[in-house]
Amino acid sequence: MDVTRSSESPVETARAPAERLRLPAALTRGRVAAFVVLLGASFVVGMVGPAALLPAAPPALRPLVGVVAFLVLVLPLGWYHFIVPLEQAFELRLAEQAAKASAAEERLRSHEHDARLRHALEIAEDEDAVLRIADQALGVMAETAGVQLMVASDPDGDIEHSLVRGDMDPAAECVIKSPRECPTVRRGQGLVYEDGMALTACKGLRGQIDAGCAAACAPIFVGGRGTGMIRALGTAGDPTLYRKLQALTFNAHQIGTRLNTIRSVAASEAKATTDPLTGLFNRRALDARLEILIEQRAPFALAVADIDHFKKINDTYGHDVGDRALKALASALKEGVRNHDLVCRFGGEEFVLLLIGFDAPGAVEVVERVRGLLPKVTVRAGVPSFTISVGVVSHSEADDAPALLRIADQLLYQAKSAGRDRVQITPRRAPSLAPAPLTASS
């Protein structure tokens, strides 16, 4: 893991505990030497003092008085030089053990959180699920400081998701517009901003923050490209910021990895169901949607459209103009239907509309709206004007998708045989419709 500082870090902060640990041993040696000197002095005082201070005392009592005086002097000295340091060393040992136990417990909680996050992300099926899980992870980290997550759908696009959890001053929020604006993303590694001074603070903050505010920030990479970041606040000089950065980097890696998997799968699926020329769905997508609708017995209408005299366009103007004509028709079809309807290129110059909730007569109105859009889209695309023939069938005309498509295709060729530039439905539904008049409002 790459970790850098945005300002110089005091190495002495890491050395101080070791120096403090060596200090009691030096003090103990000094105390022993002092105690030996004082012990000798106390012995002299205890032996000589009674005779000098109590000359009238009986000789038999003088040794007893000397021993008492010796003990009175030695016991406080011994307590001060040995018992007190032992108590301090014992308290220090207890504090160290408590700190180690707390650190071990914190590591266990961190490992458990990491394992749960990894497992939750592995079963996330889409980006919304990933963001929900990331939001929950932010909630855990926000117990000690404010945390923010920013993610874009496209590394070259704008930030679309910004989640803030915990106590975070609005001025301390990051307000970058795109991942490219983030120093952490540009450098490709985690950063610790050790204070809020103007020269060392992140340039993406909403406003001026307190000088004592610090932050750790880790980039999120999706497919090797910076797509977002995750950051946590702290206080200047707090050594735990670097542990936070490790946690942020782990979370960012897990989130980025899962997003990459989901986006790769989505891109593969889209490529497999998309026509590369027009960007419409292809026959594979149509078959899948038809299967679902028929299984659900949902009402729908099917319209098969074909450009009239398309071969003549290709032969006269070239295949490049022919391709642009196909794109122009695709644009008219998408513009003329609703968002939940399906427009697909069936092959060549043939297109299919799958109109949900319509019968054949209702679908004709939609097709007429599309036909009315053709003059506008052809001018916009810079291609010669063209017309289309369409066959429309209702879902009730057959029990399966191949039969429906076959009927719609037959109706399409009936429209072409009748003179082209028209819409044809089954005779029992309605007669063949003449070409739609083109109006300015269309």
Under a CB-based contact definition with an 8 Å cutoff, are residues 432 and 424 in contact?
yes
Q: How far apart are CA 198 and CA 209, in angstroms?
A: 9
Q: Please tell me the distance from the alpha carbon of residue 292 to that of residue 270, in angstroms, as a whole number.
A: 18
Is 349 an active-site residue?
yes
Q: Which residues contact 373 (CB under 8 A, 6 or more apart)?
A: 332, 335, 336, 442
User: Which contacts qualify for 120-129: CB closer than 8 Å, 24 or more apart?
Assistant: 121/254, 121/255, 121/257, 121/258, 122/258, 124/258, 124/262, 125/262, 126/262, 127/153, 127/259, 127/262, 127/263
Q: How many CB atoms lie within 10 A of CB 210?
A: 13
Catalytic residue among 349, 350, 365, 397: 349
User: Running DSSP on this structure, what letter comes out for residue 396?
Assistant: G
**Residue 83 contacts by C-beta under 8 Å, 6 or more apart in sequence?**
none
First to last CA, the chain: 60
Angle at 303 between CA 301 and CA 304, to 5 degrees: 150
| Phi, psi of 199, deg, nearest 5 | -80, -25
Length of the chain: 442
C-alpha R_g of the chain = 42
Inter-axis angle of helices 319-336 and 310-317, to 10 degrees?
Answer: 140
DSSP-derived secondary structure for 109-139 = HHHHHHHHHHHHHHT--SHHHHHHHHHHHHH
Structure-block tokens of residue 216: 């750790």
What is the distance between the alpha carbons of residues 313 and 307, in angstroms, rounded to a whole number?
10
What residues have CB less than 8 Å from 147, skipping those under 6 apart?
A: 138, 141, 164, 165, 166, 168, 230, 231, 232, 233
Catalytic site positions: 349
